[in-house]
A and B are shown apart, each in its own frame.
Chain A
Amino acid sequence: MTLTADRPAAETATTERPAKVRRRGRSSPLATVLAHGTLIAASLVALFPVLYIAYISLGPDDNDYLHPAKIFDKMTFANYTKVMNDTGFFTWFGNSAIVAGGTTVIGVLIAASTGYAVSRMRFPGYRQLMWTLLVTQMFPIAVLIVPMYYILSNLGMLDSYTGLILVYSATTVPYCAWLLKGYFDTIPMEIDEAGRVDGLSPIGTFWRLILPLARPGLAVAAFYSFLTAWGEVAYASTFMLSSDKYTLAVGLSSFVSEHDHQWQLMAATSVLIALPAAVVFYLVQRHLVTGLTAGAAKS
C-alpha cells in the first residue's frame, strides 16, 4: 500500500525539480539507500562490542580472548555453569537486585515529589534548589567517596543495603528530578486545579492524578536509576565490605585481580549482568523518546 502511494510522487520527482514536488518525509531512492546504509553501519557498531563479549564468554580457556577465532570450534556454556555453580553469583545477583530495585523505587519517588514541587509551586528557595540540583551533577564521584565513607561508617550504614541505596539515590535524584520537572511541566495545570476542586490535597493530587499521567517520564527516570545502580562499581566496592554483600559489579572484578585473569568468567558474568538491564531497557524503550523529550525540551 505504501508502495503504490509512493510511486506517483517518485515519478513526478524525476520529471520536475525533485526538492519542490516531493512531499516531505518521502525521499529519493538514493537518499533512502544511503539512510539505510548509514543506519545499518551504525547498528553494527552499536551491537558489535556486546556480541563480541558474548562470543568471548563461550570460550572455555582463560587465554581464548587472545585468539578469538579458535573459540569457534570449541564453543561451550561451561563458563556460565561455572559462574553460577562455583561462585557467589546468586548472592551477588540478589544483592544487586535489592540495591538497584531499592534505588529505583526510592530515587524515583523522591525525585518525582521534588520534580512536582518545583514544577507547580514557586516557593522561597526555589532557585537555590534548582541550582543545587544542577551543581550536584558536577560532583566528581572520586572526591565524594572518602567523606561518604566516614558518614556511612558514623551512621553504622557501611555494608548495608540502605546505605548503598541512599548513596545511589543521592547520585541519581538530581537528574531524575530535573527530568521529571520537565515532564510535569507538560501536564496542564487544569488537572491539578480540578483535583483541588474535588477536595484532594496537593499531595493527593500528585499521587492520584499526576503520577499516573506521568508514566513515560517515570519510566525514563526508573530506567536511568536502575542502570546507574546496576552498573556502578566504585561506591559498591568501597562500601560493601563482606563478600556476602557484594554486588555483581564488585563480584565481577574479583575475577580479574592482580595475580589472576579469568577473562572468560568475567565475560560470562558480564553477559549475565547485561541481561536484566536489557530486559528493563526493553520494557521502557517505548517511553524513552517521549519521556526524555519533555524533560530535555523544557528544563
Chain B
Amino acid sequence: MAVAVAQRIRLSYSKYWYAYAMIAPVVIVLGVLVGYPLVRGIYLTLTNATSLNVGRQIGVNHIPDSFDFIGLDNYADVLWGPTAYDRFWSHFIWTVAWTAICVVLHYGIGLGLALLLNRKMRGRGLYRLVLILPWAVPTFVTVFSWRLMLADGGAVNGLLSFLHLPEPAWLSDPLAQKAAAILVNTWVGVPFMMISLLGGLQSIPQELYEAAEMDGAGPWQRFRHVTLPGLRTVSSTVVLLGVIWTFNQFAVIFLLFGSGAPDAQILVTWAYRLGFGQQPSDYAQSATYGILLLSILIVFTTFYRRWLARNEKANG
C-alpha cells in the first residue's frame, strides 16, 4: 500500500506538466468570463455607477465614465441605510426561508420517491422515466405552463374548486405568490435530488441490510442506521448544491411573476431588477447585492463543510 502510494506520488510529479495542460482551458475560460467580471464587480461596488454615468457609445461619440469612487458607502447603504429593511433585509429573510423550505421539500420528496423506486416492483423503469421528466423540460417552458395553470380560473384553482377548497389568487396575492413560487420550484428541483439519492441508495451494499436484519433491526432502525449513513456523502453534496442553486434560482421567480410581486422577489431577482429592470439602472447597487450574495454563500459553504467534517469525526 505504502509503496503504491509512493509510486503514485512519484508518477504525479512527472505529470505536473500534463496536469496544468489539462486544466488550462478551464482556468482560462473561468478566468476571463468569471474571474474578471468578479474583479470588475467588486470595483463597481466601490463606485456610484449607474446607467447615466458609465461610459457608452452613442453613434460615433464615445462618452467616458463619469462615476466616482465612493468607498464602502454602497455596502453601508444596503445593509443599514434608510429603508435597508424594506430593500435588503425583508428580501434576505424571504430568501433564507425560500432556500430552506425548497431544499427541505426537494430532499424529503426526492428521498421518499427514491426509496420507493429502489424497491423491486413492477413498472419501476417507467415510473423512473416519468418522474425525471420535469428535469428534461427547459425551465422557462415549465414555468410558463405553471403560470397558465396558476392563473385565475386555471387548472389548479379548477381542481381546488372541484374539491371545495379555497382558491387563492396565486399570481397576485403576496402570500399565495410565495406559496406558488415554492410549489413550482419544488416541482422543478425534485427530479435531480431523486435521481442522485436513488444512485446513492443503489451504492449501499446489500450485506449491510442483511447484517442489520440479523441483529434484529426493524425497518425504521435499518433506515436510521444503514440507509441514512450510507447516503451521507451523496446527501452532503446534493444538499450543498441544492442550497446554492435554490438561493440563486432566478428563472422561476422572474418568469412566474414578471415585474410584479415585489414581496416574492428573492435577493437575486431583486439585484437583477436594480441593474436592469428600472431606469436609470443602478449598476453599483446591483453589483453590491451580487457581492453580498456571493459572500453569504461562501460563509454558508465554509460553515457547512466544517460542520460536515466535525460530524464525520464524531460518527467515526
User: Contact residues of A with B, CB < 8 Å?
Assistant: 19, 24-27, 32, 35-36, 38-39, 42-43, 45-50, 52-53, 56, 65-68, 110-111, 113-114, 116-118, 120-124, 129, 132, 134-148, 150-151, 166-167, 169-170, 173-175, 177, 189, 193, 196, 201-203, 206, 227, 230-231, 233-234, 249, 252, 263, 266-267, 270, 273-274, 277-278, 280-281, 285, 288-290, 292-294, 296-299
Contacts and interface: CB of A to CB of B under 8 A. Distances in A.
Contact of A32 (B121, B237, B251, B269): B121
Q: Is the interface of B mostly helix, strand, loop or mixed?
A: helix
B145 A142 contact: no
B30 A170 contact: yes
A5 B237 CA distance: 39
B29 A120 contact: no
A68 B129 CA distance: 27
Interface in B200-220: 200, 202-203, 206, 209-210, 213, 218-219
Contacts of A143: 37, 41, 271, 275, 286-287, 289-291, 293-294
Name the residue in B112, B135, B137, B298 with the highest tally of chain A Cβ atoms < 10 Å from its Cβ: B137
B140 A53 contact: no
A147 B40 contact: yes
Contacts of A193: 11
Interface residues of B, number: 101
A140 B18 contact: no
A154 B186 CA distance: 40
B248 interface: yes
B36 interface: yes
Interface string B70-88: 0000000000000000000
Nearest to B140: A233
29 contacts: A38-B113, A39-B123, A46-B130, A46-B131, A47-B130, A47-B133, A52-B155, A53-B144, A68-B154, A135-B298, A138-B244, A140-B268, A140-B294, A142-B272, A143-B293, A144-B37, A146-B287, A147-B37, A170-B34, A173-B30, A196-B11, A231-B140, A234-B251, A267-B145, A277-B137, A278-B133, A281-B133, A293-B200, A297-B199
Interface in B12-35: 12, 15-16, 18-23, 25-27, 29-30, 32-34
Contact of B238 (A67, A294, A296): A296
B196 to A, nearest CB: 5
B169 interface: no
B229 to A, nearest CB: 13
B36 A52 contact: no
Contacts of B112: 38
B117 A39 contact: yes
Nearest to B272: A142
A67 B152 CA distance: 10
Contact of A167 (B20, B33, B123, B200): B33
A56 to B, nearest CB: 6
- Report, nearest first, the 5 A-B pairs whose CB atoms are least far apart: A293-B199, A231-B138, A143-B290, A147-B37, A281-B136
A120 B12 CA distance: 8
B46 interface: no
B293 A140 contact: yes
Given A121-B12, A143-B290, A169-B29, A274 B141 contact: yes
A217 to B, nearest CB: 12
A116 B21 CA distance: 12
Contacts of B293: 138, 140, 143
Contact of B196 (A169, A175, A292): A292
B113 to A, nearest CB: 6
B290 A123 contact: no
Contacts of A27: 119
B196 A296 contact: yes
A48 B131 CA distance: 11
A110 B198 contact: no
A138 B130 contact: no
Given A110-B29, A138-B294, A297 B271 contact: no
Nearest to A141: B250
A267 B241 CA distance: 31
B286 A121 contact: no
Nearest to B198: A289
Contacts of A273: 138, 141
A165 B153 CA distance: 41
A136 B35 CA distance: 9
A193 B196 CA distance: 31
Contact of B219 (A19, A36, A45): A19
Nearest to B39: A147
Interface in B241-256: 241, 244-245, 248, 250-251, 255
B93 interface: no
Contacts of A56: 145, 148
B100 interface: no
Contacts of A122: 9, 12
A293 B203 contact: yes
B217 to A, nearest CB: 10
B6 to A, nearest CB: 13
Given A113-B25, A117-B22, A298-B233, A290 B145 contact: no
Contact of B22 (A65, A116, A124, A294): A116
